[in-house]
Amino acid sequence: MAPQDRFVSETTFRIRYAETDAMGITHHSNYIVFFEEARSHYSRVRGADYADFERSGHWLTVAEVHARYLAPTHYAQQVTARCWIEELRSRGMTFGYEIVDAASGQVCVTGLSKHVCINHAGQVTRIPEDWLAAMRAGVPD
Amino acid sequence: MAPQDRFVSETTFRIRYAETDAMGITHHSNYIVFFEEARSHYSRVRGADYADFERSGHWLTVAEVHARYLAPTHYAQQVTARCWIEELRSRGMTFGYEIVDAASGQVCVTGLSKHVCINHAGQVTRIPEDWLAAMRAGVPD
Amino acid sequence: MAPQDRFVSETTFRIRYAETDAMGITHHSNYIVFFEEARSHYSRVRGADYADFERSGHWLTVAEVHARYLAPTHYAQQVTARCWIEELRSRGMTFGYEIVDAASGQVCVTGLSKHVCINHAGQVTRIPEDWLAAMRAGVPD
Amino acid sequence: MAPQDRFVSETTFRIRYAETDAMGITHHSNYIVFFEEARSHYSRVRGADYADFERSGHWLTVAEVHARYLAPTHYAQQVTARCWIEELRSRGMTFGYEIVDAASGQVCVTGLSKHVCINHAGQVTRIPEDWLAAMRAGVPD
C-alpha cells in the first residue's frame, strides 16, 4: 500500500497492445518499465527532472528491482502508476511503486527499485545537492 | 504531412527511458509501437474501440508497416502521435501516421500501416459493419 | 552463485542494440526477459517444453520477480543465462538466475522469479504430473 | 526472396515469450528488432563489427524501415533472419531482410531498411573506408 506520510506521485496511462503477451495480459517485464516511468514522473513533478540530472553528469543506476504481481492488466486498460521514496541516502535511494487499475483502484502490481548515484566515469558519488533537496522534501523528517 | 480533408486523431505522451538506445535517442522500433498506440487512440475517439473489435471475434492483422525517420526524439520529450485513415476497404484499411514534437510541431517520423481483417480462425473477412461505419465517418466521401 | 547440487541450464546469446538505453548499457528491464528466456530454455532441455505446458491448458503465471544488478552489459556482448530451480512445490515453483559474461564468466545480474500454476480459467491448480516429474529430476531429493 | 548474386547472412534464434502479444503471435514491432539483429550479424560475419564502427565515431542511423508480414510466428519457434545488402553508396546503404521458419523455410516476414552514415556530431559523412570495403565484398561489382 502506498504510504500516507510522504509524497506519492501518480501518472495514468493505457496499456499498449505491444505490451500484452500470448496469455492475453500485460507481460510482466513491462511493469519494470512502468516503475521507471513512475519515478521519472515523480522527479518531474518535484521539479527535479531526471533529464537534467543526467545532463549534470550523473546517473541514478539501478542496483535492484523487485515486483510482486497480484492481478493482471489488459490491453487498453487505464492504470495509475504511484511512486514514492522508501529510503533516501546521500549516495542512493529506494523508490516504492504501486500499479493500480485507474477506475477501481485495485492494486495490480507492487514493487521497489534501489538506485546508486554514479558519475559518467562510473564512480559512486553523492547525489547532487539540489536534486537531493527536492527528493528530501517528499519524505518525512 | 497529415491530411486536411479527413479526421486526424492526436495523442500526446512522453518518450520513456526504456525506449532510448545507446545512440541516446528513441530506438527506431518503438515508433512502430507508437503507430499502433495512435491507431488504438483513433478508433477509441471515433467510438469504435479496438478492444471491442477483438471481442467481436475479429483481428485487424498487420500486413505491412513503413516508417521514415526525419529527426530523432529523446528521453522525456513530449511527442504527439497523429493518425488518420489513408484508405478504407471492406476487408482492410491503411492508416497514416505522423510523430511530431509536441512543443514545436516538428515532424520527426512519418509512416503507414496496412491491415487486413481476419476472424479468430485466421480467415480474411469483412470488417464488422458498425466498426466500418465509424471508420467511414473519418474519411471524405 | 549458481548452485552445485542441482541441474543448471545455460543458454548463450548476444545483447541486441534495441536492448541498450541512453546510458549505453543494456536496459535493466531486459534482464527480466532474459530470465524468462532462461527458464524457457531450462524446461526445453529437460524435455518439458513450456509451449506444450501451455497447450495442456496451464500457465505458469509470474507471481514475483527480483533482480540484482552487479555489472552492466553492452551491445553485442555475449552473455550466458543460467537457470535452476530454487524451490519446487505441487502448485508453484521458484527459478534462480544468473546472467554472466560468456567470455570471462563475470556475474552481471542475478535474480529469481516465483510462479504459480493456473489453468486457462485462471484458477490455481497442480502442475501437470509429467511436467512436474521433469522438473523434479533437476533438483536434489 | 533473398538474392542469389550476393552474400546473404543467416542467424537463427527462437521467438521469446515476451515478444508475443494478445493475438498469440509475435508482435509485429519485434521484426524491426530482428532486422537490426540480422544486420548486426551480417557485419560481424563480414569482419566489420558494428560495435567497432560506432567506436570509430560513426553511426549508421536508420532513415527508413519497411516490413511486409506474410505469416505469423509463435513463441519458441526457431526463425532464421537473412540479411543482404540491397544498395551500397559512400554515405549510406540499404539492407534487405527475410525472416523464415528455420525448419520449413517458409518466408514469414520480408523487409528493408535504409541507413545514412553520420558522425557523433550528427553530420552526414562517408562510411569509413575499411568498413565500406568489407560491405562492398558482399555485393556484385
Element spanning A67, H or E: strand A58-69
pLDDT higher than 90, residue A127:
yes
Q: pLDDT tens across B39-52, in order?
A: 999 999 999 999 99
Which chain A residues contact residue C32 at CB under 8 A? Answer: 28-29, 32
Mean pLDDT value across residues A65-78 = 98
Amino acid C141: pLDDT: 83
pLDDT band at D1 (very low <50, low <70, confident <90, very high): confident
Residue B67 has pLDDT above 90, yes or no: yes
Put simply, the answer to whether B22 touches C27 (Cβ < 8 Å) is no
Average pLDDT over residues A95-107: 98
Residue B111's contacts (CB-CB under 8 Å, 6 or more residues apart) are B31, B32, B35, B65, B66, B67, B68, B96, B97, B98, B99
A17 touches chain B (CB under 8 A): yes
What residue type is assigned to position A85 of the chain? Answer: I
**In angstroms, what CA-CA distances link C79 with B16, C98, D114?**
25, 10, 29
Among the partner-chain residues D23, D30, D61, the one whose CB lies closest to the CB of B59 is D23
Supply the DSSP symbol for C18: G
Q: What backbone phi and psi angles, to 5 degrees, belong to B4?
A: -105, -10
pLDDT range class, residue A56, cuts 50, 70, 90: very high
* Amino acid, single-letter form, for residue C1: M
Average pLDDT of C70-97?
98
DSSP state of B4: S
Q: What is the pLDDT of residues C13-28, one digit of tens each?
A: 999 999 999 999 999 9
Enumerate residues 6+ apart whose C-beta is below 8 A from B46: B7, B9, B134, B135, B137, B138
Residue D21 pLDDT level (bands cut at 50, 70, 90): very high
To which H or E segment does residue D65 belong?
Answer: strand D58-69
Chain B residues with CB-CB distance to A50 below 8 A: 17, 76
Largest distance between two CA atoms of chain D: 46
Whether the pLDDT of residue A109 is over 90: the answer is yes
pLDDT at residue D141 above 90? no
Return phi, psi of residue D79, to 5°.
Answer: -120, 150
What pLDDT score was predicted for residue B141? 82
Mean pLDDT of chain B: 96
Question: Looking at chain C, which residue has its C-alpha nearest residue D50?
Answer: C76
| pLDDT band, very low/low/confident/very high, at A76 (cuts 50, 70, 90) | very high
Q: What pLDDT, on the 0 to 100 scale, is given for residue C81? A: 98
pLDDT in tens, D94-140: 999 999 999 999 999 999 999 999 999 999 999 999 999 999 999 99
Place C1 in a pLDDT band, splitting at 50, 70 and 90.
Answer: confident
pLDDT tens, residue by residue, B83-138: 999 999 999 999 999 999 999 999 999 999 999 999 999 999 999 999 999 999 99
User: What percent of chain C has pLDDT above 90?
Assistant: 98
Average pLDDT score over residue span A21-47: 97
- The mean per-residue pLDDT over the stretch A85-95 comes to 97
* Residue pairs between chains B and D whose CB atoms are closer than 8 Å: 48
Q: For residue C42, give the nearest of C92, C89, C98 by alpha carbon.
A: C98
Which is it for the CA torsion B128, B132, B109, D95, positive or negative? positive
Split at pLDDT 50, 70, 90, the class of A141 is confident
Nearest CB to D28: which of B22, B23, B32? B32
Reported as a single tens digit per residue, the pLDDT across D38-63 is 999 999 999 999 999 999 999 999 99
DSSP H helical ranges for chain C? 30-45, 50-55, 129-136
Is A22 buried (19+), middle (13-18) or exposed (0-12) by CB count in 10 A? buried
Structure confidence at residue C109 as a pLDDT band (50, 70, 90): very high
**What gap in Å lies between CA A81 and CA A26, rounded to an integer?**
14
- Give the pLDDT band of residue A68 (cuts 50, 70, 90): very high
pLDDT at B8 over 90: yes
Closest CA to C117 of C89, C86, C87, C84: C89
Q: Are A74 and B40 in contact (CB under 8 A)?
A: no
Residue B80, pLDDT score? 98
Domains of chain D: 9-136 (3.10.129.10)
pLDDT at B1 over 90: no
What pLDDT shows up at residue C89?
A: 97
Taking CA atoms, C62 is separated from A23, A67, A111, B100, C37, in Å, by 11, 10, 14, 37, 13
All residues of chain A having their beta carbon less than 8 Å from the beta carbon of residue D20 are 21-22
Give the bridge partners for A97, in sequence order.
Answer: A83, A111
Buried b vs exposed e over D25-36: b needs ≥16 C-beta within 10 Å? bbbbbbbbbbbb
The predicted pLDDT at position D54 comes to: 92
Is residue C131 classed as helix, strand or coil in its secondary structure? helix
Residue D97 near residue D113 (C-beta atoms within 8 A)? yes
**Which of D11, D16, D45 to substitute to test the interface with C, most C CBs within 10 Å?**
D16
Length of chain D: 141
Cα–Cα dist C50/C56, whole Å: 10
Cβ burial of C41 (10 Å; 0-12, 13-18, 19+) is: buried
Percentage of the residues of chain D whose pLDDT score is greater than 70: 100
| Percent of residues, chain B, with pLDDT higher than 90 | 99
- Best D15, D16, D23, D27 member to test A by mutation, with max A CBs in 10 Å, is D27
- Chain D from 20 to 59: CB within 8 A of any B CB: 22-23, 28-30, 32-33, 36, 54, 59
Chain C residue with minimum CA distance to A33? C29
Smallest CA–CA separation between C61 and chain D, in Å? 12
CB A70 within 8 A of CB C75: no
**C-alpha span between C65 and A99 (Å, rounded):** 15
Find, among C5, C4, C32, the residue nearest to C99 by Cα.
Answer: C32
Q: What is the pLDDT of residues C129-139, one digit of tens each?
A: 999 999 999 99
CA distance C33 to chain D (A): 6
Kindly provide the ipTM of the predicted complex, given to two decimals. Answer: 0.96
Instruction: State the distance between the two ends of chain D, measured CA to CA, in whole angstroms.
Output: 20
Contact D75 C51 (CB under 8 A): yes
- Interchain contact, D23 vs B61, CB within 8 Å: yes
d(CA D116, CA B31): 18
D17, D49, D51: residue with CB nearest C36: D17
**Closest partner CB to D64 (pick from B32, B63, B69):** B69
Distance, in Å, from the CA atom of C48 to the CA atom of C46, rounded to the nearest integer, reads: 5
Residues of B in contact with C21 (CB under 8 A): 17-18, 20-22
The angle subtended at Cα A118 by Cα A110 and Cα A61, nearest 5°, is 25
Q: pTM value?
A: 0.98
Chain C residues whose CB is inside 8 A of the A29 CB are 29-30, 32-33, 36
Side chain identity at residue D52, one-letter code: D
